[in-house]
Amino acid sequence: MSDLITVSLVDLDLAAQDKDAATRRLAELMSAEGRVTDLETFLTDVRAREAQMPTGLEGGIGIPHARSTGVTQPTVAFGRSATGVDYGASDGPAHLVFLIAAPAGGGDEHLKVLAALARRLVHASFKEALLQASDAEAVVDLFQREVVVS
């Protein structure tokens, strides 16, 4: 699970104006790494999951996620948006977006990651560290230290 997120899966200047564009941008990072082999299938699966229930959390967080046949390994991509992206949270747009991808036939690793991430995101210090991270390495280090479960 230690390779769930890498520096190439981090966009600290996410410029997307809506959740579809933000999700696509992060999914494209996954695709460039070979972790998503069918981009359109994966995006369709993420949109279907999002249609069931918005994935925005209070405090400026978006966590779109899906299992998909277009995914080769559990992966997390992270984007930080200065303007924010609407993921349906009641308190406004997300400035921190985590796209979680899992293979369709895989185990429950992505649910463990989702739960661990949600537990960390209630801590203001964790969110602030992500908002202030100076580079992708800092984000990956923080994620590995605070979220990845062994």
Which residues does the annotation mark as catalytic?
65
Cα–Cα distance measured from residue 57 to residue 150, given in angstroms and rounded to the nearest whole number: 25
In 3-state terms the chain splits into helix, strand, coil percentages (rounded to 5) of: 45, 20, 35
Cα–Cα separations (whole angstroms), residue 99 to 1, 45, 65, 79, 92: 16, 12, 6, 8, 18
Residue type, 150: S
